Homo-oligomer: A and B are copies of this chain.
Amino acid sequence: MAEAEGAQLVTAALIVIGDEVLSGRTKDRNIGHIAERLTDVGIDLREVRIVADVEDEIVAAVNALRNRFTYVFTTGGIGPTHDDITADSIARAFGVPIDVDPRARAMLLEYIPEEKLNEARLRMARIPQGATLVANSVSKAPGFRIGNVIVMAGVPRIMQAMLEIVLPDLEKGRPMLSETVLANTGEGDIAAGLAALARKYPEATLGSYPFRDEDNRFKTHLVARSRDRHLLDQVHEELQLLVAPFN
C-alpha cells in the first residue's frame, strides 16, 4: 500500500500471552478491541501472535516483533501466580534486571492492605529496570512500558483502561479511513470490476467480504481504505457504480 507523501507510518504488533487462549478455554476479547482502537488513532496493527506461557516463546516473539514495528503491545501474564511470567520474559528479552519496583509497590498498597501484600501479590510489582509504569485504574497492579514494548493486563476491562492511558503518549500516523459498500450479490460477480479498481487506485486498499443474509443469499461488503479523504471519496463513488447493477 503506497503512502501519501509526508505521511508518517506508525505500526504495531500485538502479543497475546496465554495457554488458556490456545487451549480454547478462554475466548480472546482483546484482539478486536485493540485492533479497532489502534486503527482509530492512526496506528496500523500489522501482526498478532498468540503464544503460550513459555518464557522462550515470549522472548522470541517480543524480540522478533519489536525490531519490525513502531510498537509492540502485550496482554496477559502479569498477575501474582507462578504462571504469570510476562514481566520476567520482557526483562530477559531486553537483557535488563528485574525486581520489585518501589513505585509499583506503592501503587499496590493503594488497593491492597499491607498485611495482605504477600510474596505472591508482590510479584505484580516486579518491573524490568528502566521501564515506565502504566497505571491500572481498576485494580492498581500496573502494566509498564520499556523501549517500544507496552505490557498490559489480560483482563479485558483492565487492559482497556491501560490502553487508554497509554495511547495519548504514542506517536500516531494519519488514521486509515474506510468506506463500505454493500453488493447484493456474491464476490464472483464483482471480482473483475473490483480488481480493475484496485489497479486503477493502487494507493487505496480494496477488500471484499462475503456473507449470507437472513435468507441465506450471498452478499458482499466491499471495503475501501485509504488515509487520503479525497482519494477515498473517489474510490467510494466508483464502488457505488460497480455494485449498482446488482442492487
Residues of A within 8 A of B (CB): 16, 19-28, 31-39, 44-53, 57, 79-84, 112, 116, 118-121, 123-124, 155, 176, 178, 187-192, 194-195, 198, 205-211, 223, 225
Supposing A24-B32, A32-B28, A210-B79 touch, asked if A191 and B120 sit within 8 A by C-beta, the answer is: yes
Measured in the bound complex, the distance between the Cα atoms of B35 and A27 in whole Å is: 9
SS class, residues of chain A in contact with chain B:
mixed
| CB < 8 Å neighbour of A112 from B21, B35, B188 | B188
B19 adjacent to A81 (CB under 8 Å): no
Question: How many Å lie between the Cα of A118 and that of B185 in the bound state?
Answer: 14
Instruction: Please give, as numbers and ranges, the residues of chain B lying within 8 Å of A119 by CB-CB distance.
Output: 192
Report whether B198 and A82 are in contact in the complex, using a CB–CB cutoff of 8 Å.
yes
Residue pair B26, A209 in contact (C-beta under 8 Å)? yes
The reply to whether B83 and A123 contact each other, CB–CB distance below 8 Å, is: no
